[in-house]
Amino acid sequence: MDQAYLLEWTNLLLRWLHLVAAMAWIGASFYFMGLDQSLRPAKDGNPLIRGEQWAVHGGGFYHKQKFVAGPERLPEKLHWSKWEAYWTWISGFALFVLMYWGQASTYLIDPDVADLAPWEAIAISAAMLVAGWVVYDLASRSPLGDNGAAMAIIGVVGLAVTAYAATRIFSGRGAYLQVGAMLGTIMAANVLMVIMPGQRKMVAAVANGTAIDPRWGGAGKQRSVHNNYTTLPVIFLMISPHYPMFWQHPKAWLLLVAMALAGALVRQFFNLRHQGVQVYDFWLAGGVVVVLVAAFIAPPRAAVPTGDAPAFAEIRQIVEQRCVECHQPRPTNTAFAAPPKGFLLHTPSRIQRQAQAWVGQVRSEAMPPNNTTGITPAERGRLLAWVAAGARAD
């Protein structure tokens, strides 16, 4: 089987698994955070019950209770939530290795940012994944770890420093996915290294009839809250490859921080709403304002039309030299088994008919990826001038 075709299938199946697992993990996280924050005091005054919730859904009623420490005895069947997180990270990391490490020259490296060898870029990327978890874990275990406001400030500052460094090392697209991979690694490590060990100790204590150390549950709750606020920023970073207006921007790192902050503010809106706090609309408005500010920070880097409208023969020559290696039925660029996004530019009619669709990629300099074919600013200007004049085939 053709290697590029096999890679394309592997990419599809891993991405599908990643989305399915992520939906299960995020759904469980949102559900349990919402449940935890909407608990009300038990009506019967049971001192073992921290709170309870009555709900109606799916044609039936539910009565959920949370214990102060643990039940008197374990039920026969105890539900755990862990594999959703593990498979989300496993599939996401496999995708990152396949795309950004396996094709580092195409996706991770931009010689105009830092002229790295593939092994250098991969080594830096791996080191950043480990360092991100270590620094975050140390901060969470420090005396500031239980101070929500302090951890929020540390998180925003840490994200800004990381985003700035990543955009000075990797391509814009690679930097965004690197930061996303770091946040996803922190979230999964929280489950593996903190939440699950604490819960195992709690279950063992109930089984043995011994006291539960409140630190076990407290650490798990702390990391669950952190994961909850990180979820929407990570989702934005997951979809960011489709929006070069962000990662091609001269201030790409600042836009990343702004959109992550907007996601956290929106999450705060939902969390407060579950608690019944009446000022939660402020946080949703804050998220909207941050998005609007991000949209007007500065115009994205863009090529501009150059000179009078060129003849179609000149346009076709540029497209054949700079674009067709990827955008033909069987790409000669070994990174692709099929033309990206299904765009075909190998015939005059397709060049003309799809001009308005590909002009955005030319203007934002998102294509070719990391300018692998060496298109010049002047050539971009000629393509844009031709489209601006009506994209006529003379």
- What does the DSSP assignment read for 19-86? HHHHHHHHHHHHHHHHHHHT-B--TT--TTEEEEEEEEETTEEEEEEEESS--SS--SS-----HHHH
pLDDT given at position 294: 77
Q: Please check the confidence at residue 4 and state whether its pLDDT lies above 70.
A: no
Mean pLDDT, residues 338-358 taken together: 80
The larger pLDDT score, comparing residue 132 to residue 43, is at 132
* Residues contacting 42, CB < 8 A, separation 6+: 49, 51, 52, 65
pTM over 0.85: no
Q: pLDDT-based confidence at 67, cuts 50/70/90?
A: confident
pLDDT given at position 171: 93
Name the residue among 336, 320, 327, 321 with its Cα closest to residue 107. 336
* Residues contacting 138, CB < 8 A, separation 6+: none
Mean pLDDT, residues 246-253 taken together: 88
Pick from 108-112, 127-131, 323-327, 336-340 the range whose average pLDDT is largest.
Answer: 127-131
Q: Phi, psi at residue 110, to the nearest 5°?
A: -130, 110
Give me the residues paired with residue 40 across strands: 52
pLDDT given at position 316: 85
Instruction: Name the burial class of residue 77, with classes exposed (0-12), middle (13-18) and buried (19+) by CB atoms within 10 angstroms of its CB.
Output: exposed
Q: pLDDT-based confidence at 343, cuts 50/70/90?
A: confident
**pLDDT per position as a tens digit, 74-100:** 888 888 888 999 999 999 999 999 989
Between 252-275 and 148-167, two packed helices, what is the crossing angle to 10 degrees?
150
Please check whether residue 335 is in contact with residue 8, taking contact to mean a CB–CB distance below 8 angstroms: no
Mean of all residue pLDDT scores within the chain: 87
The number of C-alpha atoms within 13 Å of 127 and in the hemisphere containing its C-beta is 9
Give me the residues paired with residue 55 across strands: 62
Residue corresponding to tokens 């991979």: 181
Please compute Rg for the chain using Cα positions: 25
Name the residue among 106, 167, 173 with its Cα closest to residue 373. 106
